[in-house]
Amino acid sequence: MTNDNAENGFLADRADAADALTPKKTADRHFPVLLERCVSLFAESVENARAQKRQPILVDCTLGMGGHSEAMLERYPDAMLIGIDRDTMALSLAGERLKKFEDRTHLVHAVYNEIADVVRDLGLPGVDGVLFDLGVSSLQLDERERGFAYSFDAPLDMRMDRTEGTTAADLVNTLDESELVRILRVYGEEKFAGRIAKSIVTDRATKPFTTTGELVESIRKVVPAGAARTAGHPAKRTFQALRIAVNEELDVLEEAIPASMDVLNVGGRVVVMSYHSLEDKITKKFFAAAAKSSAPAGFPVELEEHKARFKTITRGTEQPTELEIAENPRAASARLRATERTLPRSSS
């Protein structure tokens, strides 16, 4: 993902439409990114399961409002779908959308790094496909009270799972200035991190932050107007950084990618769509390592235990077409990678 995060740039446009979207059906509120490509990437995995006379099992680790899951269930009418999401509202809405497939679905309230536990608890030895659509969902952007958007005033929350955890307000009101700088620089790639962190610390001494609007005003005071004209809304990188920190997204992803690869049957695939350069780097790291032989350099014969157990399906990252971006602006920064298990899991 580029520095101009589409999910944040998309907020301003989505904000005006939020009220209009709220009453509509779930399917009308959700615009799945790279839908056709994601679904088709699992075709060979599904056929492989069928050839072994097994029911194909697919996992949507970021269920959201169920757009990708619905498409997979329609495309593969014999497949079982496991939908995972930490957001209870998303689970409820997706459940409505997928009700006609309820005999083939298991919707689970969990964080996606818990995929191995979810699969085990369902009594399954492995799965044939795993999908990640990372970042913030359309649902979370549209619901004002969630506090993900800088375009309107709301409680400063940003938790994907509102049943537990630290809020964005907790972070901006308690972290020391140096830690705020680190979060804004690393997660938001914010070049004015020092100024913004100092402004936050100064303002909270008078009154703790409780709303997104208060935080936006604190940021506006120290970000040059010229920077906003060229880089978009002055708060967008700060909001991105806080959201990632609140939900521990990168730490969770570091665990989730290898865990998803571990539960795959031979021929199974993991497909990851990321919207942030750090997400893509984590995905690339695990995919590349698994697709390399572990044989020592110059070793004359590659032993079985040294063979790569995965193969790369995508060359680099795949991106949405101009047509899809025009139809769905959120897709602009999406980057897709896929890998396939070629050898059984190690018994060790």
Q: How far apart are CA 263 and CA 129, in angstroms?
A: 9
Closest alpha carbon to 133 in 59, 190, 194, 225: 59
Q: What's the domain range around 167?
A: 162-246
Residue at which a domain ends, from 246, 268, 301: 246
- CA-only gyration radius of the chain, Å: 21
* 89 pLDDT more than 70: yes
66 marked as part of a ligand binding site: yes
How far is C-alpha 117 from the geometric centre of its chain's CA atoms? Answer: 19
Residue 168: what pLDDT?
97
How far is C-alpha 300 from the geometric centre of its chain's CA atoms? Answer: 42
Q: Would you say residue 270 lies in a domain? A: yes
Do 203 and 256 share a structural domain? no
Q: What is the pLDDT of residues 300-322, one digit of tens each?
A: 665 666 688 999 999 899 999 99
121 marked as part of a ligand binding site: no
Do 227 and 128 share a structural domain? no
More confident residue, 111 or 294: 111
Q: What is the dihedral of CA 94, 95, 98, 100, to 10 degrees?
A: -160
233 marked as part of a ligand binding site: no
Q: Would you say residue 13 lies in a domain? A: yes
Q: Would you say residue 152 lies in a domain? A: no
Q: How far apart are CA 277 and CA 334, in angstroms?
A: 10
Residue at which a domain ends, from 246, 272, 304: 246
Q: 3-class SS at 190?
A: coil
140 marked as part of a ligand binding site: yes
Q: Would you say residue 214 lies in a domain? A: yes
Q: What is the pLDDT of residues 109-153, one digit of tens each?
A: 999 999 999 999 999 999 999 999 998 877 777 777 788 888 889
Q: What is the CATH number of the domain that holds 285?
A: 3.40.50.150
Residue at which a domain ends, from 246, 267, 286: 246
Do 267 and 241 share a structural domain? no
Do 254 and 129 share a structural domain? yes
* Cα 47 to Cα 51, 55, 208, 345, distances in angstroms: 6, 10, 56, 20
* Cα 104 to Cα 41, 90, 98, distances in angstroms: 20, 18, 10
Strands 335-341 and 310-312: antiparallel
Mean pLDDT score, 92-118: 97
Do 332 and 206 share a structural domain? no
Mean pLDDT score, 102-109: 98
67 marked as part of a ligand binding site: yes
Q: How far apart are CA 104 and CA 247, in angstroms?
A: 30
Do 94 and 50 share a structural domain? yes
* Cα 181 to Cα 41, 206, 232, distances in angstroms: 40, 20, 20
Q: Which residues 6+ apart lie within 8 Å of 85 measured at CB?
A: 62, 63, 64, 91, 94, 107, 108, 109, 110
Do 45 and 126 share a structural domain? yes
Strands 127-133 and 57-60: parallel
Do 238 and 172 share a structural domain? yes
Strands (E) located in the chain: 57-60, 80-85, 105-109, 127-133, 264-274, 310-312, 335-341
Do 259 and 238 share a structural domain? no
Structural domain count of the chain:
2
Residue 150: what pLDDT?
87
60 marked as part of a ligand binding site: no
Do 277 and 238 share a structural domain? no
Does the pTM of the predicted model rise above 0.85?
yes
Do 97 and 12 share a structural domain? yes
275 marked as part of a ligand binding site: no
Q: Would you say residue 221 lies in a domain? A: yes
Q: What is the CATH number of the domain that holds 193?
A: 1.10.150.170
Tokens 């308690």 -> residue: 174
